[in-house]
Amino acid sequence: MFLRRPVSKNSSQELQEQVINEEEDSSSSDVEVLRSKIRTLQEQNNRLQAVLQAKGNDFIKCGYLFKYRPFASGLLDNPWEMRYFVLRKNLIQYYRSESDTMFPPRGIVKLQSCVVEIEPLKKRRYFTFSIIDDDEKALALRLSTGDAAEGERWIAALEAVGVERQAASDDGPRPPPPAMDIRPTEEAVEKVAKVQRTRSADLRKRGFWKIPFFPAREGPQQKGAAPAQAPSQQTGKPRRGPFTGGVPVHIGSKNSVLSSEEVQNQQHSGLINLVMVIMFATHSRLIIENLLKYGMRSNPLYWVRALVESDVPWQVFACWPALALFIGLAYQTEVVAVRLLSNELRAKEAAEKKSDGDKADDGSSGATRRGVRWREAALAGAQTLTTTAMLLLPCWAVVWYEAPPLAGALLVTASVIYWMKMVSYAHCCNDLRTARRSGEIRPGERGNMEGFTAIEDPMLYPENVTAKNLAYFCVAPTLVYQVNFPRANRFRKRWVLRRLVELVAWFSVGAFLVEQYILPSCINSLHPLNSMDLGHSLERVLKLSLPSLYVWLIGFYILFHLWLNILAEFTYFGDREFYKDWWNATTVDEYWRKWNQPVHKWLMRTVYFPAMRMGLSQYGSVLATFFVSAVFHELLIGVPLQMMRSWAFFGMMGQVRCMKRNNRLSCWDPKCQVIGCA
């Protein structure tokens, strides 16, 4: 039994005072924390007010607009360029981008005697307006924007500063007035630079140390302007005294330019230029060395002869119409599925009317569900047989009849692409039939278009099961089928012509690299590899790395940027995000998510998420996704080359382990990231 020690009155008072003191200390510490937070917020508020004050009171509107260049060629050089415009009370000036506003502007137009003229709207054209100097009858600026509402806001802002709106001529299109010189004069450049230096110095005093100081830029010499004076004749500038032996040169504490304190405030364009000069010199040496050793091996007619004069068996040619036949069989399977679905829904509606609200027989409903499952299983089996034959028949023909590598690569690539398209088509239609049975409307169908743009006349399943719709999907630059696709509203002829010229030019560069560098290096690498000479083998691999990387980059640009965009332009396909910024990827999995968007979206919707719904873990779903990708990489590389060695397969499967290790390193040290996913 525990006995409680009696507590005296004095000790209880001391205990109470101690508790009160502790509470006061805790409350005082909380008050100090709040006061420090208030001081921090006040400092931030003062800094923001300083920034707003530095911008000036004459600021009205700013934003990006397309500016017309009257002297652009128009064919290979786009006459419209995007620039950042700033509208003030009495002038409008533009910069290359928003980040260049600390520099003097590239052009200044005074608006005292200007009028704004809106061009007549044309079909599938941008909202275009011109700023014309009414006194000199000269065109100052011709601007456009893709948003008509934004264009009207710019017109209203110009009218607010006194620029009159001038109606377009009703006599039809007239020749534009001559363009005037809107380059800033030397006096205007010096005035703007002086204001910017003053604002930068004021912000530095208030604590903005990261804002760089930009000196004045010499403006272009204007017609009629006085020549620049010599330094000794310039007025208003103090002359530096004689540089005697006792003149101090160290006048304060300064950091090195490349130190961590100053590197973020400096411009590094000179270093980039130096790197480009080094790369140019190094590559020039390699080109000269290759030409002296092998001579000119590149022949533009080699690739044409490889296609025309190659001995391609007729069985390989017959696979091309066979692909169209398999696509037709897949379409007929979906037509049958639509008829079965319509009969099923009519029977269900008749049964509901016949029952008149009575409870349905559980046996009949169970038999109906079993019938639906059997029909869907039969349709899935038919589609599986069709798609499997579509993939295996061309591969068998290429291997069995020993087709040339180029013809075999084209046929196998086409069979893989259309296999993925038909699998996505059958998978999507199966899901839409399930939605029709339950009375649901999937996102992207008519009636559930929230968040979808650039879609005209949306359809609802089974309205999309037509030959025209499937034919459009077969030629569209996507592997994922959906009922409605975003569509573009115009066809740009000159843009397509420029992209075609680029495609031919870059293909010629890639072919030159393959014939001039890669093929000789591969031939010379056979002897070191056969004799197991590790030193020379490593030297050959490193020699192949540079041209191989260039060919890979050129192939990426040709396929994902040029070819898919040209195809999208011909098919009016709206969603042209065929790749993302994979060069900024910091992990391996981020790189695989960004660099090939059509395949990534197909794998996510067709493999990854179905595997997750089947109960696989996230790692198992990723493994299944990379397994499918590895199989197709092996087919695309091994079948045309008649070399089924599983190198591409295990290379892709090894990416899973690489991703896991990379993520583990990133978790240990956030700075340990892959630069450019190298």
| pLDDT tens digits, 488-522 | 888 889 999 999 999 999 998 888 888 888 888 88
Q: Is residue 4 scored above 70 in pLDDT?
A: no
Per-residue pLDDT at 554: 93
Token duo for residue 214: 């930009």
Q: Do the Cβ atoms of 357 and 304 come closer than 8 Å?
A: no
Which residues on adjacent β-strands are paired with residue 91?
Answer: 110
Q: Is residue 371 part of a domain?
A: yes
Q: Do the Cβ atoms of 191 and 117 come closer than 8 Å?
A: no
Name the most confidently modeled range: 304-318, 488-502, 661-675.
Answer: 488-502
Q: Do the Cβ atoms of 537 and 529 come closer than 8 Å?
A: yes
Give the residue carrying structure tokens 């592997």.
Answer: 479
Which residue, of 545, 571, 597, is where some domain finishes?
571
**Cβ within 8 Å of residue 98, ≥6 positions away:** 62, 64, 84
Q: Is residue 234 scored above 80 in pLDDT?
A: no
Q: Between the CA of residue 277 and those of 42, 509, 549, what are the distances in Å? A: 49, 21, 20
Element spanning 408, H or E: helix 405-438
Q: Is residue 596 part of a domain?
A: yes
Same domain, 455 and 404: yes
Which residues on adjacent β-strands are paired with residue 133?
Answer: 114, 138
Q: Is residue 415 part of a domain?
A: yes
What is the SS3 assignment for 291?
helix
Q: Is the N-terminal amide bond of 462 cis, ω within 30° of 0?
A: yes
Per-residue pLDDT at 233: 40
**Cα(640)–Cα(634) distance, rounded to whole angstroms?**
10
* DSSP state, residue 179: B
Which residues on adjacent β-strands are paired with residue 116?
Answer: 131, 165
Kindly report the average pLDDT of the chain as a whole number.
Answer: 78
DSSP assignment of 464-515, as one string? T-SHHHHHHHHHSS-S---S---B-S---HHHHHHHHHHHHHHHHHHHHHII
Name the most confidently modeled range: 99-108, 179-188, 348-357, 477-486.
Answer: 477-486
Query: φ, ψ for residue 10 (rounded to 5)?
Result: -65, -40
Question: Residue 75, by phi and psi: left (phi above 0), alpha (psi -120 to 50) or beta?
Answer: alpha
Q: Is residue 513 part of a domain?
A: yes
Q: Is residue 637 scored above 60 in pLDDT?
A: yes
The 3-class SS string of 508-519 reads: HHHHHHHHHHHH
Which residue, of 471, 486, 501, is where some domain finishes?
486
Q: Do the Cβ atoms of 437 and 372 come closer than 8 Å?
A: yes
Dihedral of the alpha carbons of 406, 412, 413, 414, in degrees to the nearest 10: 110
Q: Do the Cβ atoms of 377 and 439 come closer than 8 Å?
A: no
Same domain, 332 and 359: yes
Higher-scoring residue by pLDDT: 527, 431: 431
| pLDDT tens digits, 244-280 | 777 777 877 777 877 776 766 666 777 778 888 888 8
Same domain, 510 and 538: yes
| Strand 80-88 to 91-95 pairing | antiparallel
Same domain, 600 and 557: no
Same domain, 354 and 471: yes
Which residue, of 486, 508, 540, is where some domain finishes?
486
Same domain, 557 and 596: no
* DSSP state, residue 105: P
Q: Do the Cβ atoms of 82 and 64 come closer than 8 Å?
A: yes
Query: φ, ψ for residue 456 (rounded to 5)?
Result: -105, 140
* DSSP state, residue 605: I
- 633 assigned to active site: yes
Same domain, 591 and 463: no
Q: Is residue 26 scored above 70 in pLDDT?
A: no
Per-residue pLDDT at 570: 93
The single-letter code of the amino acid at 225 is A
Element spanning 570, H or E: helix 564-571
| pLDDT tens digits, 144-163 | 888 888 888 899 889 888 88
Q: Helices (DSSP H) in 166-312: which residue ranges?
A: 186-205, 269-294, 301-308
| pLDDT tens digits, 566-622 | 999 999 998 888 998 888 887 888 888 888 899 999 999 999 999 999 888 888 899
Q: Is residue 216 part of a domain?
A: no
Q: Which range (105-114, 291-300, 408-417, 610-619) has the least confidence?
A: 291-300
Q: Is the N-terminal amide bond of 176 cis, ω within 30° of 0?
A: no
Q: Do the Cβ atoms of 66 and 126 come closer than 8 Å?
A: yes
**Domain tally for the chain?**
4
- Quick one: how far is CA 420 from the chain centroid? 23
Token duo for residue 593: 């998510």
| Strand 114-118 to 164-166 pairing | parallel
Same domain, 592 and 669: yes
Q: Is residue 11 part of a domain?
A: no
Same domain, 542 and 665: no
Q: Between the CA of residue 420 and those of 291, 325, 426, what are the distances in Å? A: 43, 16, 10
| CATH code where residue 118 lies | 2.30.29.30
Q: Is residue 554 part of a domain?
A: yes
Percent of the chain with pLDDT over 90: 20
**Cα(614)–Cα(605) distance, rounded to whole angstroms?**
13
Q: Do the Cβ atoms of 182 and 109 come closer than 8 Å?
A: yes
Q: How confident is the model at residue 5 (pLDDT cuts 50, 70, 90)?
A: very low
Name the most confidently modeled range: 58-62, 122-126, 174-178, 315-319.
Answer: 315-319
Q: Is residue 425 scored above 90 in pLDDT?
A: yes
Q: Is residue 648 scored above 90 in pLDDT?
A: no
Q: What is the mean pLDDT of residues 654-660?
A: 84
Token duo for residue 291: 């030409």
**Cα(404)–Cα(310) distance, rounded to whole angstroms?**
7
Same domain, 481 and 519: no
**Cα(563)–Cα(557) distance, rounded to whole angstroms?**
9
Q: Is residue 356 part of a domain?
A: yes
Token duo for residue 357: 């609200």
Domain enclosing residue 95, as ranges: 56-184
Marked catalytic residue, from 250, 283, 536, 633: 633
CB neighbours of residue 78 within 10 Å: 15
Same domain, 379 and 424: yes
The single-letter code of the amino acid at 1 is M
Token duo for residue 353: 């009317």
Same domain, 450 and 544: no
